[in-house]
Structure 1
Amino acid sequence: MPVSPNQGSTGGGTLVTITGTNLSNTTKVSFGSKLATNITQVSPTQVTAVSPSGTGTVGITVTTPGGTSNPVPFFYVGAPFKSSLDTTAGPLAGGNTVTLNGTGLSTATSVSFGGVTATPTVNSDSSLSVTVPAGAAVGPVPVTVTTAGGTNNGLSYTYLDAPTIATLTPASGPTSGGAAVTIIGTELDTTESVTFGGTPAPFAIINATTLTAVTPPGTAGTADVVVTNPAGSDTAVAAFTYVAVPGI
């Protein structure tokens, strides 16, 4: 007498299909010592019922005027607990993979990002990976995990646009580096790196449209300036000019 699914939430409420023989005129379905609700006679070989609350492993039995069946195991699963996301922000277009850590994740069937669902890859009971779906708008959204034990939320993921660079002031400085440059643009408050000619520069975020950076040493001539955040990068081609120190 197989049952599907054979596991469900400790809080009950799982619709279970029981398949067997001589199931006509079923009078009750029991999950251990508790009676199921909403019993529906589908056919002489199939009955559906909604599980009551419970814990651990219990036996499902079906009772008809002819007697009570043998028990078939049903496993109660606790609701998942999410502790962290390894990446909490990414591009509005989605497509990046994040790892979610927690407990009770082995039966995860879906992960929702602001109501948009994705199918995860379960790594273990404490870890799953999922490809982030495209978002509807820039900003934070709740992350929800659904397992056989129920649904849990509490984490947040932020959809971002890639940064843009509008202006650099000043636009030139010595080859020895050390020039303080103000960069104006958009989506700069999530900046992860700034480079001048491919060399990382120390930087400080002022707000979403402004950051400052200190130029690293460079070679005389123009250099590309690249600003990167979790959603991508923007390159200002030949935007900064390294000037050699005069010699006499």
Structure 2
Amino acid sequence: MPISPNQGSTGGGTTVAITGTGLAGTTAVHFGTKPATIVSNPDDTHVNVVSPAATGTVGVTVTTPGGTSNPVSFYYVGAPSKAGLSVSSGPTAGGNTVTISGTGLATTTSVSFGANTAVPTVVSDSQLNVTVPAATAAGSVGVTVTAAGGSGNGLTYTYVATPTIGTLSPNSGPTSGGTAVTIPGTGLTTTQSVIIGGAAAPFSVISDTEIAAVTPPGTAGDQTVSVVTTGGTASAAAGFAYVAGPGI
């Protein structure tokens, strides 16, 4: 007498399909000593029930006017518990991989970031890897792990908007570097690096709309300026012009 699924939450509520023979007129289904709720008994070979709350491994039996079946094992699984996220923020476009640690994660079927759901890779009972789905807007959302034992939440992930940058001030300086520049824009709070002409520039974040940086030495001509943040990268193709010094 197969049952599907053969495991579910300790809190009950799992819909279980039981197949076999002689099941017409089923009067009771028990998970151990506890009665299940019979949802339907469409024919002689099928009965669908909702599991009661319980713990451990129990025998499932079906009772009909003809008697009671032999037990088939059903395994109760506790709800997953999440301990942490390897990365707690990322771009609204998603696509970055996050590791979730915790317990009871082996039977995980999905991970939700707010209203957006992804299918994880189960590494072990204590670890999941999941590619973060895209979001429609920046902001913090709850992270929910759904497994055979139920759902667990309590962690927060923050989607960060893609940055933008405007015109540098000043937007030109000597190839020797050392020019103090202001970079205006939006979404700059989580800036991780500033690249001018392919070289890293020292910088400090003044606000979400302003960065102060110092140009590194560079090659004469227009150079690309890029600002890398948690939310992504903003670039200006000819953001800064290096000017060669005089020569004789």
Same fold, TM exceeding 0.5? yes
In the alignment, structure 1 residue 99 sits paired with structure 2 residue 102: no
Contact 1:105-1:147 within 8 A present in 2 as well: yes
Output the amino acid matched with 1:106. A
Q: State the Cα distance separating 1:221 from its structure 2 match.
A: 4.1
Report the secondary structure of 2:168's partner residue.
strand
Contact 1:28-1:39 within 8 A present in 2 as well: no
TM-score by length of 1: 0.89
Hey, what does 1:211 align to over in structure 2?
211
Report the secondary structure of 2:55's partner residue.
coil
Hey, what does 1:57 align to over in structure 2?
57
Cα separation, 1, equivalents of 2:228 and 2:185: 12
The alignment yields a C-alpha RMSD, in angstroms, of 2.2
- Counterparts in 2 of 1:110-149, with a 5 A limit? 110-149=110-149
Cα separation, 1, equivalents of 2:127 and 2:213: 38
Moved more, 11-20 or 87-96: 87-96
Contact 1:162-1:228 within 8 A present in 2 as well: no
Identity %: 64
Residues 30-58 of structure 1: CA distance to partner in whole angstroms, max 9, x if unpaired?
11122212453232111111111111211
Residues 184-203 of structure 1: CA distance to partner in whole angstroms, max 9, x if unpaired?
01111122211111111232
TM-score by length of 2: 0.89
Q: State the Cα distance separating 1:167 from its structure 2 match.
A: 2.2
Hey, what does 2:15 align to over in structure 1?
15
In the alignment, structure 1 residue 37 sits paired with structure 2 residue 25: no
Q: State the Cα distance separating 1:226 from its structure 2 match.
A: 0.6
Cα separation, 2, equivalents of 1:180 and 1:225: 14
Hey, what does 2:167 align to over in structure 1?
167
Report the secondary structure of 1:168's partner residue.
coil
Segments of structure 1 that go 5 or more residues without pairing to the other structure are none
Cα separation, 2, equivalents of 1:213 and 1:83: 38
Output the amino acid matched with 2:60. I
Contact 2:38-2:47 within 8 A present in 1 as well: no
Hey, what does 1:229 align to over in structure 2?
229
Cα separation, 1, equivalents of 2:72 and 2:107: 20
Cα separation, 1, equivalents of 2:136 and 2:242: 42
Output the amino acid matched with 1:134. A
Residues 204-241 of structure 1: CA distance to partner in whole angstroms, max 9, x if unpaired?
22222112223333344443211012332122223223
Cα separation, 2, equivalents of 1:140 and 1:56: 36
- Counterparts in 2 of 1:151-162, with a 5 A limit? 151-162=151-162
Q: State the Cα distance separating 1:117 from its structure 2 match.
A: 1.8
Output the amino acid matched with 2:146. T
Contact 2:3-2:19 within 8 A present in 1 as well: yes
Moved more, 153-162 or 89-98: 89-98
Residues 67-122 of structure 1: CA distance to partner in whole angstroms, max 9, x if unpaired?
22111111111111122223333332333333322221211112212212222222
Tell me the number of residue pairs that the alignment of Structure 1 and Structure 2 aligns: 248
Contact 1:8-1:148 within 8 A present in 2 as well: yes
Report the secondary structure of 1:167's partner residue.
coil
Report the secondary structure of 2:239's partner residue.
strand
Cα separation, 1, equivalents of 2:148 and 2:67: 31
Cα separation, 2, equivalents of 1:95 and 1:155: 19
